[in-house]
């Protein structure tokens, strides 16, 4: 029986950071924002009780998941950051780093004290994993499963021996359970493929992004993936039906906003950021499902 704890170390609304703690290994799942990293690090220290942080697993390169990794390196210089090969490439792009910096500044203004020490030029992946590639991390053996749909670099991690799946944001988020907010930005069918791929694992527990606690038990896990797929398809159906009725891009974006930008979502994601995502989602759905550009 594999023993582990999954502990939320989220230090600001809307980011994601969870500590996977086993008898031998301490692994941070995503690392939140840059501006909230000092608080997250203090939370980590409290739970680690003198143990080092050994690894960070990044599910993708977005600012609210990856930025804190830079600051963790200063405290635990021997830790290694693991992610997909495409995320490794993203962190070499000046334009991508500029967006990560700008989004951290926006988040800091809303959820922080307005200032943070910018070290984001040092973002990097130490170990890039290909699809289906496995890696031993102390007493944890993970397998990387590329699950694009939210981003090109989205990756999930499966610890088969423990039956634990760390799912990427491609599977959706749950600000308003039992509704699952689709988070597809770059591909509709690839998102459905990712959901089906992860559901087929029949994991015993799933850690979702932007969620503090695990989904536990195969019934709960199966129910989540069923709802994840349902809402991904339902959202597509509503957007495409409205498009065929002549609604414009802004109107289609508002359909998504009305469905998912509830109070709990607003607590952790600025409206501008939500609508920016919708501005990618709508053209993607229209193009993929009708062949039209909008």
Residue ranges covered by each domain of the chain? 5-217
Q: SS3 letters for 71-82?
A: HHHHHCCCCEEE
Q: Where are the alpha helices (DSSP H) in the chain?
A: 37-48, 63-66, 69-75, 85-90, 94-111, 189-199, 218-244, 249-260, 263-268, 271-290
What is the rounded CA–CA span in Å between residue 84 and residue 82?
7
Q: What is the mean pLDDT of the chain?
A: 95
Reported as type and span, the H/E element at residue 6 is strand 5-8
| Confidence band of 261 (pLDDT split at 50, 70, 90) | very high
Over residues 261-274, the mean pLDDT reads 84
SS3 label, residue 173:
strand
| Confidence band of 191 (pLDDT split at 50, 70, 90) | very high
| Confidence band of 112 (pLDDT split at 50, 70, 90) | confident
| Confidence band of 267 (pLDDT split at 50, 70, 90) | confident
CA of 112: how far to CAs of 37, 167, 287, in Å?
Answer: 11, 27, 38
| Confidence band of 168 (pLDDT split at 50, 70, 90) | very high
Per CATH, the number for 5-217 is 3.60.15.10
**What pTM was computed for the model?**
0.95
What local confidence, expressed as pLDDT, does residue 285 receive?
Answer: 98
What local confidence, expressed as pLDDT, does residue 217 receive?
Answer: 95
What local confidence, expressed as pLDDT, does residue 284 receive?
Answer: 98
The candidate with the shortest Cα–Cα distance to 29, out of 155, 180, 200, is: 155
| Confidence band of 86 (pLDDT split at 50, 70, 90) | very high
């Amino acid at each position: 029986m594999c023993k582990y704890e999954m502990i939320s170390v989220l230090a600001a609304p809307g980011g994601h950071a969870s500590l996977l703690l086993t008898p031998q290994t301490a692994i941070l799942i995503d690392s939140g924002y840059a501006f909230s990293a000092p608080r997250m690090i203090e939370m980590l220290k409290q739970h680690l009780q003198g143990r080092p942080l050994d690894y960070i697993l990044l599910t993708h390169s977005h600012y609210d998941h990856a930025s804190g990794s830079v600051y963790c390196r200063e405290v635990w210089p021997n830790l290694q950051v693991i992610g997909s090969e495409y995320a490794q490439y993203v962190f070499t792009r000046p334009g991508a780093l500029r967006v990560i910096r700008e989004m951290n500044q926006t988040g800091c203004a809303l959820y922080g004290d307005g200032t943070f020490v910018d070290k984001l030029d040092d973002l990097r992946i130490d170990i890039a994993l290909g699809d289906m590639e496995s890696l031993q991390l102390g007493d944890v053996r993970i397998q990387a499963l590329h699950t694009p749909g939210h981003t090109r670099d989205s990756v999930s991690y499966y610890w088969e021996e423990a039956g634990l799946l760390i799912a990427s944001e491609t599977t959706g988020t749950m600000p308003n359970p039992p509704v699952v907010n689709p988070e597809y930005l770059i591909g509709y069918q690839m998102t459905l493929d990712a959901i089906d791929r992860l559901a087929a694992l029949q994991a015993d527990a799933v850690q979702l992004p932007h969620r503090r606690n695990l989904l536990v038990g195969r019934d709960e896990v199966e129910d989540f993936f069923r709802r994840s797929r349902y809402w991904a398809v339902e959202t597509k159906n509503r957007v495409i039906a409205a498009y065929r009725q002549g609604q414009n891009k802004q109107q289609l974006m508002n359909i998504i906003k009305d469905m998912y930008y509830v109070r709990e979502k607003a607590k952790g994601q600025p409206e501008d950021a939500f609508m920016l995502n919708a501005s990618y989602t709508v053209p993607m759905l229209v193009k993929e499902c009708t062949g039209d550009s909008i």
